[in-house]
Each structure stands twice: as C-alpha cells, then as structure tokens.
Structure 1
Amino acid sequence: MAQTAGVKPMTIAGRVASERERCIGMTDAERAWRKQWLQDQVLASNEPVHVEEYWRERTNPIRRFYRKPLDVLFTKLSPVLGQERAINYRYITGKLGLMAIGVLSIHYYFKYQGNDWTKKGGWRVLKTKPMVLPGQPGFPYKSERCNDNDYAERGFKKATI
C-alpha cells in the first residue's frame, strides 16, 4: 500500500513555503501561522528518539539477521569512536564487505566454473589476437593454432579422459 493510501500528498507549509509568495505579502494570520510553524520545526534536545520495537517491526527478520554481526561490533565500538563515526564506519564496512564478496565470487566463477567443452552454459571468455605492427618483434603474427581442428576446441585436447 502506498504511504499516503492513494491520497495525493500535500505540504502543510502552504503558500508561504515559497520566499516569493512571502514577499508578495502575508496577512497577520499567515504571519502568526508561519511563526508557529517555524517554532514547530525545532527539534527537542532528546530527538530523534530511537524506539527499538518500532525498528524491529519495520525491518524484516532476514535483514536483521545479516546486519546483526556488524551492528553488535559497532555498538561496542561506538563509545570509543563516537555515535556518528561508528554509524559511518559500519556503513562503509558493510559496503566494502559486499564488494569483496562480489569480487571473490567473480574470481571463483572464472577460475572454477568457466565455459569449456564439458558444459553447455556459462560465460565464454575469449582471448583476442594481439596487435602486432610492422617493425615489432613477432610480426607477422602467427597463431598458436596449428590447423583447423584447433579452432573452437574449448579445452577438449587438454582433457585427461
């Protein structure tokens, strides 16, 4: 369900939210309303209030499970680091951990699960022919493939069957 339950959201600031509208002219009632509205925007000294039950209800159990280790670690580190710094370090550590898992997963895939003659699927990685210009050693370039049977063999000749 949408946050507004299908009703179009409206701002409570009204027409005096825009500086241009305020410069056109405001009535005394609008000035009093604007003054009260600005006073209401000031947070109390104890805000924002963290209500544990509220956040537990708003996050799903799987998310709470995988976030728990870093939450426990940085809760213990927050007296040393400070609350704001601990939150920032926790965020950065989580993102770097996900990036490391991604890099290691890609490395594992290409090392152990790549496409060869035994598999039908998978990503096929091909090496392109190197650019050898006249005057460079190895010109003209000769392929390592000796005959037509060597093309598209996908590691079959290296198999130890």
Structure 2
Amino acid sequence: MAQTAGVKPMAIAGRVASERERCLGMTDVERAWRKQWLKDQVLSANEPVHVEEYWKERTNPIRRFYRKPLDVLFAKLTPVLGAERASICRYLTGKFALIGFAAVCARYYFMYNGNDWTKKGGWRTIRTKPMVLPGQPGFPYKSERCIDADYADRGFKKATI
C-alpha cells in the first residue's frame, strides 16, 4: 500500500517551507504560524511510541512467528548493546541465518539429488578438463576415461547392483 493510501500528499509547510520564500517577506500571521509549526516538529521525550497492539494488527501472524526467537534474544541484549546497535545486530543475524540455511539446503540438494543413471532429474555437474601447460607435470593431459563408452555412463559402471 502506498504511504498516503492513494491520497495525494499535501505539503503542510505551505509557502514558508522554502528559505527563498521566507526571505521575500512574511506577514505576522505567517511568522506566528511558522513558529508554531517549528515547535510542532520537535518530538517529546516519549516519542516514538511503540504500541504492541498496533504492531500486531499490521504484521502477518506467520511473520511474527518466525521473528519471535530473535526478537526475544535481542530484547534481552538491547540494554547491553543499545537500541540502535541491537537492531542492526538483529537484522544481520536474521539475514546470515537465512543465507546459512539456504547454503545447507543447497548442499543437501546437490549431495543427494545429483543426476546419475538411476533418475531423470537433478542437476548434472560436469568437471572441466584442467589446464595443463607445457612444462608442467601431467602434460599432455590424459583423461581417466579410457574408451568412448566411459563418457556417458553417468555413474553406471560404479553401481553395485
């Protein structure tokens, strides 16, 4: 949803928001209005106010569920770290946990769902021939595959059946 919920935003500062406009001259009414407007921009010591019920109404229950463990942990760490540092650490911890989980899932997938002769699906990984230049040990490079039938076996010859 848009920040203004589809209503065109309106500048409440009026003509005196620009310094150039103020230098052109202000009436006493505009000067009093600007003074009051500047006073209204100062937040009290109690702001911003965190209203738990408002946050619950605006967030998805599933999101609240998966955020709960880190919220509880960093609520206890906030007095030690400070509010700003704790929020940064909480954000980074969540992101690194998601990246780590994705890495573990990818490792599991490639470990147990490879493309071999027993199944049609899976990612097929192929090793390229190593670069061996003249003068290096192993030049000229000879493949471990002896005959043409070795090139498409996809692990069939290693099977124990």
TM-score (norm 1): 0.85
Aligned to 1:142: 142
TM-aligned CA deviation for residue 156 of structure 1: 1.7
Question: How is 1:17-96 mapped onto 2 (pairs within 5 angstroms)?
Answer: 17-23=17-23, 25-28=24-27, 29-96=29-96
Question: How is 1:120-131 mapped onto 2 (pairs within 5 angstroms)?
Answer: 120-131=120-131
Q: Distance in 1 between matches of 2:19 and 2:153?
A: 72
Q: Distance in 2 between matches of 1:84 and 1:5?
A: 29
Q: Give per-residue Cα distances to partners, 1:19-66, cap 9 Å, x unaligned.
A: 44445x242244433332222111101000010000011111001101
Q: Which amino acid aligns with 2:76?
A: K
Q: Which amino acid aligns with 2:85?
A: R
Identical columns (%): 77
TM-score (norm 2): 0.85
Instruction: In structure 2, list runs of 5 or more residues that go unmatched.
Output: none
Please tell me whether residue 109 in structure 1 is matched to residue 83 in structure 2: no
Instruction: In structure 1, list runs of 5 or more residues that go unmatched.
Output: none
The alignment's C-alpha RMSD in Å is: 2.1
Q: Distance in 1 between matches of 2:44 and 2:32?
A: 21
